[in-house]
């Protein structure tokens, strides 16, 4: 199944955090928080402005992004958990 986000929405797949710390301590699932970092899979056409023009998104498919912890809507596609976020919920693009 494929999803094409509309307007200023972005489809993101969460990037899972490491299972253990640098010291070798294994973190149990009950102590983990949901990661706030993910990979952009698809991007909508852009935000419709009041004057009728469309502002293109600042992110593109393949970008690694940080997003607000409680933002977006969780969806399950083919057994994989993903998020649909508004571009405003994205805090920044991670560059390496």
Domains, the chain, in order of start with CATH, read 9-94 (2.30.33.40)
Residue with the larger pLDDT of the pair 29 and 24: 24
pLDDT at 21 over 70: no
Question: Which element (helix H / strand E) includes 47?
Answer: strand 47-48
Q: Is 63 exposed, middle or buried (0-12, 13-18, 19+ CB in 10 A)?
A: buried
Is the sign of the CA dihedral 80, 56, 37, 64 positive or negative?
positive
Q: What is the mean pLDDT of residues 81-93?
A: 90
Residue 1: what pLDDT? 64
The predicted model scores a pTM of 0.76
**With bands split at pLDDT 50, 70 and 90, how would you rate the model's confidence at 51?**
very high
């Amino acid at each position: 199944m494929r999803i094409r986000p509309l307007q200023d929405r972005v489809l993101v797949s969460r990037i899972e955090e490491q299972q253990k710390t640098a010291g070798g301590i294994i973190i149990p699932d009950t102590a983990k928080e949901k990661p706030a970092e993910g990979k952009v899979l698809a991007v909508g056409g852009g935000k419709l402005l009041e004057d009728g023009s469309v502002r293109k998104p600042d992110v593109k498919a393949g970008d690694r992004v940080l997003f607000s912890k409680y933002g977006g809507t969780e969806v399950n596609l083919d057994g994989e958990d993903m998020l649909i976020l508004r571009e405003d919920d994205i805090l920044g693009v991670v560059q390496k």
